[in-house]
Amino acid sequence: MEKEYILITDFCLSHNIETHFVMELYEFGLVDLVVKEDVRYLPIQQLPKAEKIIRLYSDLDINLEGIAVITQLLNKIEKMQDEITHLKNRLDLYE
């Protein structure tokens, strides 16, 4: 389990944040958490996303509602970029 997840308390200690902040991120749907035997874990694949959110919150002083909007917009942009790449690849087949 240690390879796939990190304890929320360890994550918070390493980033100098409170555990309730990670719980708020979970409540806003910004990160996923796993609960095993009443212990909360953050999946390793969520680390870059959680760290980006922490930087937005602490460095730029953006509230959680703003971070939720930014995250949604970034996801839409990523999907559109993937679609553009797919369409370019299809167009290359016809040229």
Mapping DSSP onto H, E and C, the string for 23-54 reads HHHHHCCCCCCEEECCEEEEEHHHHHHHHHHH
- pLDDT recorded at residue 41: 94
* Residue 2 in this model has a pLDDT that exceeds 70: no
pLDDT digits 0-9 by tens, 6-20: 999 999 999 999 999
pTM of the model: 0.77
Residue 49 CA from chain centroid, whole number: 3
Select the CATH number that applies to the domain covering 5-94 from these four: 1.10.1660.10, 2.70.240.10, 1.10.1060.10, 3.40.50.2300.
1.10.1660.10
The contacts of residue 64 (CB under 8 Å, 6+ apart) are: 24, 25, 28, 30, 57
Q: What is the mean pLDDT of the chain?
A: 92
35-73 residue pLDDT tens: 999 999 999 999 999 999 999 999 999 999 999 999 999
Residue 30 has phi, psi (to 5 degrees) of -85, -25
